[in-house]
Chains A and B, each alone.
Chain A
């Protein structure tokens, strides 16, 4: 277990919320990673300016991760720095974590938890719930998961150090992701009949239009995200025709 005090941990945790603040195409979140890790680096290498500068340079290089899981890498690298691990080992360790944390977080949060919470909120709104209920449910549900995940990630990284990959595997995030995706699909299924029959403004829609919306949903199901652009182009065409007719009259 890391000997870093609660104050340092808290500062790293809070700074990790800004890890993507200087996102760029050269180092990706590298500079943000070093920014978040600075409290640890100052504590560990504070006695030697040269060692501290080298450590900052080392940590500010190319790195990428999902922001919510960045704590895993931050915690584990903090442990390595604390234990005086050689720079080459830290580099190799970071390179090994880089891709996997990004993919895991993208699947778990961006393609799972976030749309699931949002679909619940949209469903509430379309069912006639007041706007503040829909918004409160989304923000509370989403951020409970968000904050728990961030705190768990940092704690796991600090506890496991170099063995963090195994700890993450044992944590069962993939099965959790699968359950979240199933719940999100269920909520999506609940939303579809409402949109098809009442539209997005909850006004009654003619049966023929409802059937058309059902067919459109089937097309979306069949061709996936390829249908987003044609759907938007179709809407833009409707607007263009409507405005053109208005100009002619």
Chain B
């Protein structure tokens, strides 16, 4: 596994999530595709990323709320998925990867809280009255960003290694079959997609748009058959 590449990508993705520049390469769909590209499997990376994206779309990074760092976790999950020799898009392995990604998100999210506490200490301990005015502030700010990059890089690389260690034996022991895994993913994804209406204003306010969308989606479904 290209651990250095995973670490660098994870660092950039983690940095983008909050620190700089928030152009959303940190979204699971984009981060998953970029990681897939790193391993020559962009379509598979996009699929893992899209599923993790569906689960994370409703999480809003509002104020000081705790939320998962989904981009870094997606990099780890897709890297782990790519380490499995089975290269066809198997729903069973996809399900295992998604669960690993969702579990790793809570680890990366916790690390963000720790980093913010560390930033707090840095702010308190920075000597403001030495040297050129503003220089200490610039150093503090850039140090915090560097720490964020290192945090994400370390977690992406270690997550990828841990994930590949767990997924390889787990993939061999998966006995419920692809159809069952695909069905479980579809039901869970439909649940969280339905829940998204609440962040757009709720059923009462948005029923016309939702019903129209479902009608168009059904038409699209017929066309795709």
Q: A residues within 8 Å of B by Cβ?
A: 17-18, 20-28, 31-32, 34-35, 38, 41-42, 49, 52-53, 56-57, 60, 64, 67-68, 102, 106, 110-112, 114-115, 118-119, 121-122, 125-128, 130-132, 134-135, 138-139, 142-143, 146, 178, 181-201, 203, 205-206, 209-210, 212-214, 216-228, 230-232, 234-236, 238-239, 241-243, 245-247, 249
Contact = CB atoms under 8 A, between A and B. Distances in A.
Contact of B203 (A18, A111, A221): A221
Interface in B197-219: 197-203, 206, 209-218
Given A135-B30, A195-B186, A189 B24 contact: no
Given A26-B124, A31-B141, A209-B186, A189 B55 contact: no
27 contacts: A18-B141, A18-B145, A21-B20, A23-B119, A25-B116, A56-B137, A67-B22, A112-B200, A131-B45, A138-B27, A146-B22, A185-B206, A188-B200, A188-B213, A190-B213, A193-B217, A194-B224, A195-B193, A206-B179, A206-B183, A221-B197, A224-B198, A228-B191, A235-B102, A238-B95, A239-B95, A243-B170
Contact of B50 (A38, A126, A219): A126
Interface string B34-75: 001000001101110011011101111111100000000000
Contact of A200 (B51, B92, B140): B51
Secondary structure at chain A's binding surface: helix, strand, loop or mixed? Answer: helix
A22 B144 contact: yes
A184 B46 contact: no
B184 interface: yes
A131 B24 contact: no
A147 to B, nearest CB: 9
Interface residues of B, number: 106
B30 to A, nearest CB: 6
Contacts of B215: 189
B210 to A, nearest CB: 5
A217 B191 contact: yes
Contacts of B192: 220, 227-228, 231
B66 to A, nearest CB: 11
Contacts of A238: 95, 176, 180-181, 184
B67 to A, nearest CB: 10
Contact of B89 (A114, A178, A201, A241): A201
Contacts of A239: 95-96, 99
- The 4 tightest CB contacts between A and B, nearest first, are A189-B213, A220-B194, A246-B173, A224-B198
A21 B141 contact: yes
B194 A21 contact: no
B29 A121 contact: yes
B191 A122 contact: no
A193 B193 contact: no
Contacts of A42: 133-134
